[in-house]
């Protein structure tokens, strides 16, 4: 079965609730890496990288995740990068502010 067809089928089954997320994500990852890389070593690297990213993506929710998933679809590494790039940076106190707080 062509990989693009497998990807479309996995996404359709995920949307309809037939497949659990992990199986659908795995199918999408397999299709993505097989389409992107022809060598076994690079496919293996791609699979590992994508599985790790897919696991990390599960820790996020909301409109940023939805937007990134819409843009990058089954490239979980890029979805994760997109999410992290759009997350607001935590406010870090300047060293001067920390020094003033310590003396008070």
Query: In this predicted model, what pLDDT tens digit does every residue of 5-61 receive, in sequence order?
Result: 565 555 544 444 444 446 778 889 999 999 999 999 999 999 999 999 999 998 998
Per-residue pLDDT at 101 exceeds 60: no
pLDDT at 65: 93
3-state percent helix, strand, coil for the chain, nearest multiple of 5:
75, 0, 25
Specify whether the CB–CB gap between 57 and 83 falls below 8 A: yes
Please tell me the predicted confidence (pLDDT) of residue 26: 87
Distance of CA 26 to the CA centre of its chain: 12
Q: Scan for tokens 């979980």, then name that residue.
A: 76
């Amino acid at each position: 079965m062509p990989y693009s067809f497998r990807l479309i089928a996995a996404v359709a089954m995920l949307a309809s609730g037939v497949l659990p997320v992990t199986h659908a994500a795995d199918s999408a990852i397999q299709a993505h890496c097989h389409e992107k890389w022809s060598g076994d070593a690079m496919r293996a690297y791609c699979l590992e990288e994508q599985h790790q990213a897919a696991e990390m993506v599960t820790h996020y929710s909301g409109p940023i995740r939805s937007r990134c998933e819409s843009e990058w679809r089954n490239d979980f590494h890029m979805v994760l990068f997109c999410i992290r790039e759009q997350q607001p940076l935590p406010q870090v106190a300047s060293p001067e502010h920390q020094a003033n707080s310590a003396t008070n």
